[in-house]
Amino acid sequence: MPGEICSWLVLLSLFGTTHSCLQDPSLAYKHTGIVCRLTYPAAVVLNEKTTKVIEAAFQHARYPSMQGEKSAAFFGKVSYGLENLEIYNLSIGRSDFELRPGEGIGLEISNVSAVFSGTIQYGYGSWLVNVGHTLDFEVETQIDLGINPKLYCGNSKVAADTSDCYLNFHKFRLYLEGDKEPNWLKKLFTDFITFTVKLVVKGQICKEINKLADILAEFIQDTAANFLSDGGISVDIGVTTTPLITANYIESYHKGLTTYLNLTSVINASVFHPDHLTENRMVYFWFSDDIFIPLIAAAHQDGRFQLDISSEDLKTLFETNLSSIKPEYVAKCLLESASPELRVWSSSVPTLNTSTVGTSVWAQATGELYCGSQNKPTLSFQMNVTVDVTASYADKKLFLHGKPQQISVIRAELPLQNKLVNDEAQVEFIREAVEKIGVPKVLSVLEVEITRLMDKQGANLFDIIDPEVLHQEGYIVTQMDFGFPHHLLVDFLKRTLQ
């Protein structure tokens, strides 16, 4: 589901032109095809996952070897080197966050306990002594970590500035060679070196968090791009302006531009307004008709609206009770032909318009009925079809509900007999068959195919709770509660550890 995009947006925020990054939100709205709003309860769920990312930041941090020289009382000039600094026994107590309107997000990670280990070389004077003066050391720490990320729009992407990062050490005990009761000389030297180790740890942890925020931003873009792409059709979900943060939600604005055969759609009159969304559910998605119209056009041009029905499936469909009389050539085809086949496709670019009653889809369709002869169809017909479609999602499946509004036969002919179908009873049969057999069949196939595409991108791994699809004038709103998909976190952590 698009929820992957939104979920990661909040997790990123907790860490971290073609109309790109516009400063005026009202102007950006006109170029916005998709809006994502995550409310405070959703952020609470996602915040529970931040500890895993923080753990990765600590454990994945590469602490550089350091060499230095300082003057110290009693010792005089001390040369030192720190090497092989590693971390283990990491545990995190609690993670809290705060949405700060107009500013950013405050994240507090408290009671982080960890043990660092490594080796230290030291010597007196201006020379570094040999291996005989190389000691193993370990550091027991208890840390509070604070990050105040600010979201911004950079190169059409949601980015997070995590430079406001700090560590408070409630405990920082350094032991040389495991000696927890050092003599006064070793303790004096230990106290001297502790400050330097603190600086190394603090600098590298904040540096790693900033690096993770960059990796996470890239991961979000890749995940979203893959989710909304299939074959040669893709959707640009770059942001149009800086995300909005209020005390109750985070909202991001995305282009939603379809690209196919190196041509990209344009959105410049979107009807989005913040009042279209509420704050009662965990996550909201707002979709403009302007995103679906070019997407459907691309699917048509890519030859995706084609359906072949043959043999027993076709015969079963025509068992549907119809009020009109079945023409003799159709009945004969179904009864006597060994492998009857019906081929249907969109013969012009479909279009749509959404209102409060649903999404009205108009299409021109062509059908051909073959009855054993593969060279010429027994029946050929062309229709104009208008159907009001509503959608729902349950049990990890998409359901489409259609209500035909207008169905008319443009042309029907019998190619084998080289004559047009002008008989009103036969024309009515074709019209009724399309309404009561064709439309439901096409919608059922679309249900399966769209669900398959969504599952291909991992939608079925989401715990989606009570989703609703609301149709309004010129746009659709989907709203739901959700559980964070663990697989996404695993995928991200695998990337960070490569």
pLDDT at 179: 65
- Reported as a pLDDT band with limits 50, 70 and 90, residue 1 is very low
Q: Is the pLDDT of residue 251 over 50?
A: yes
Cα–Cα distance, 414 to 326 (Å, whole number)? 15
| Helix intervals (H) in 323-375 | 328-336
Cα–Cα distance, 294 to 495 (Å, whole number)? 34
Report which of residues 87 and 73 the model is more confident about. 87
- Chain segment 17-68, per-residue pLDDT in tens: 334 578 888 899 999 999 989 899 888 887 777 777 777 767 766 777 777 7
pLDDT at 478: 93
- Chain segment 331-383, per-residue pLDDT in tens: 999 998 888 999 999 999 999 999 999 999 999 999 999 997 668 999 999 99
- Chain segment 436-479, per-residue pLDDT in tens: 999 999 999 999 999 998 888 777 777 889 999 999 999 999 99
Q: Is the pLDDT of residue 188 over 50?
A: yes
Give the pair of three-digit tokens for residue 88.
Answer: 């283990």
Q: Is the pLDDT of residue 72 over 80?
A: no
Task: Report, as an integer, the average pLDDT of 267-278.
Answer: 95
Cα–Cα distance, 126 to 130 (Å, whole number)? 13
pLDDT at 162: 81
Report which of residues 67 and 141 the model is more confident about. 141
199-203, 341-345, 419-423, 451-455: lowest mean pLDDT where? 199-203
Matching CATH number, 234-486, of 3.90.480.20, 3.40.190.100, 3.15.20.10, 3.20.20.70: 3.15.20.10
pLDDT at 67: 75
Cα–Cα distance, 315 to 368 (Å, whole number)? 15
pLDDT at 174: 81
Task: Report, as an integer, the average pLDDT of 125-153.
Answer: 71
Residues in the chain: 498
CATH architecture of 41-225: Super Roll (3.15)
CA-wise closest residue to 195 among 174, 167, 176, 164: 174
77-81, 300-304, 426-430: lowest mean pLDDT where? 77-81
| Helix intervals (H) in 272-310 | 289-301
Strands 358-370 and 379-394: antiparallel
8 Å CB contact between 129 and 159: no
pLDDT at 337: 86
For 314, half-sphere exposure in the C-beta direction (CA atoms, 13 angstrom radius) is 22
What residues are paired with 384 via a beta bridge? Answer: 364, 408
pLDDT at 129: 40
Helix (H) or strand (E) holding 458: none
- Chain segment 226-247, per-residue pLDDT in tens: 777 788 999 888 889 888 889 9
Cα–Cα distance, 294 to 232 (Å, whole number)? 14
Q: Is the pLDDT of residue 7 over 70?
A: no
8 Å CB contact between 493 and 56: yes
Radius of gyration, CA atoms only, the chain: 32
pLDDT at 279: 94
Q: Is the pLDDT of residue 195 over 60?
A: yes
Hey, do 41-225 and 234-486 end up sharing a CATH topology, with the first three levels equal? no
Task: Report, as an integer, the average pLDDT of 160-182.
Answer: 80
- Reported as a pLDDT band with limits 50, 70 and 90, residue 184 is low
Give the pair of three-digit tokens for residue 28.
Answer: 């950006």
Cα–Cα distance, 397 to 274 (Å, whole number)? 29
Q: Is the pLDDT of residue 128 over 50?
A: no
Cα–Cα distance, 16 to 57 (Å, whole number)? 12
The per-residue pLDDT of the chain, averaged, comes to 83
Task: Report, as an integer, the average pLDDT of 404-421.
Answer: 95
Cα–Cα distance, 123 to 108 (Å, whole number)? 39
CA-wise closest residue to 275 among 293, 257, 291, 251: 251
pLDDT at 15: 42
7-11, 132-136, 408-412, 434-438: lowest mean pLDDT where? 7-11
- Chain segment 390-400, per-residue pLDDT in tens: 999 988 899 99
pLDDT at 6: 53
8 Å CB contact between 243 and 32: no
- In the chain, domain spans: 41-225, 234-486
Contacts of 136 (CB under 8 A, 6+ apart): 117, 118, 119, 120, 176, 177, 178
Task: Report, as an integer, the average pLDDT of 61-82.
Answer: 68
Q: Is the pLDDT of residue 260 over 90?
A: yes
2-11, 248-257, 261-270: lowest mean pLDDT where? 2-11
